[in-house]
Amino acid sequence: MRSLIIALLLLFTCSSCAVNTNQNPGEPAQTEETMPVYFHRTTALPVITEKEAVIQKDDTWQLKTSQEGIPVYTREVAGSPILAYKANVILDVPIAKAITLFEDESQIHRWYFQCVHSELVEKKSPKEEIIYLVLHLPWPVAPRDFVFKRTRTEDPASGTISYTLTALPDRLPHVKGIIRVETIESVWQFKALPNGKTNFSFQQHTDPVGSIPPSIVNKLAVQTPFNSLKNFRDLVSEKKA
């Protein structure tokens, strides 16, 4: 049933995909399967433990854009051609309101950039869940899916609530036509502000696997955090009304 739902969602989404106007007449359409393989799996990503679940701060981050109150930073990761990114936004709602939306897995596809399907696989405890997402990427790149564990931790001293994501690529059967993301290191944080607002930030680095040129992936290192946080802010504001 999951495979059928995803196939229908991707078919509907692909119906509005742009045509490749740079393709020469008579030339076969290029898909990800016909592209050179750029990487299968990057060097192991630096693991962020629950104890270290904070948005890392150092002088290696470079500001790439700052629009609509959402600054986005990137930095290089040793052994990987893919940039890590981080961003933050101020939400005009209390932290409890923001957490309620964030923890609703059925709503993730409404705010996470390029996500077309999201679902809860298993609730292991009140603070640990297994989640499944499908991303539709620009043609000719094949869709990607993620299976990951999301773990919640709280810092009583600062009031910060953090969520760490850890990939579980073999937790569910693979879906034909979709490439499974094998590694993801991600931290999402919420911190209550004195004025009843909330600071929402996250830092992430993933290995998309397959034949996507690093230049395309690194372009998403700006688009993904910016659009995801903007969409989340808009959605949580709607629910406030």
Which residue ranges make up each domain of the chain? 55-104+150-240
pLDDT tens, residue by residue, 21-41: 344 445 444 454 544 444 433
Cβ atoms 182, 167 nearer than 8 A: yes
Question: What is the distance between the alpha carbons of residues 166 and 184, in angstroms, rounded to a whole number?
Answer: 6
d(CA 45, CA 8): 33
pLDDT tens per residue across span 37-88: 444 333 333 333 333 333 445 568 999 999 999 999 999 999 888 999 999 9
Contact 54, 199 (CB under 8 A): no
Q: What is the pLDDT of residues 83-112, one digit of tens each?
A: 999 999 999 999 999 999 999 999 999 999
- 55-104+150-240 has which CATH code? 3.30.530.20
Please compute the mean of the pLDDT values over residues 128-154 and round it to a whole number. Answer: 93
Mean pLDDT lowest among 24-28, 126-130, 187-191: 24-28
This prediction has a pTM of 0.78
State how far the alpha carbon of 54 is from the alpha carbons of 50, 72, 141, 146, 183, in Å. Answer: 9, 16, 32, 22, 19
| Cis upstream peptide for 143 (omega within 30°) | no
Residues of the chain with pLDDT > 90: what percent? 62
Is 70 exceeded by the pLDDT of residue 6?
A: no
In the predicted model, what is the mean pLDDT of residues 211-224? 83
Share of the chain above pLDDT 70, in %: 74
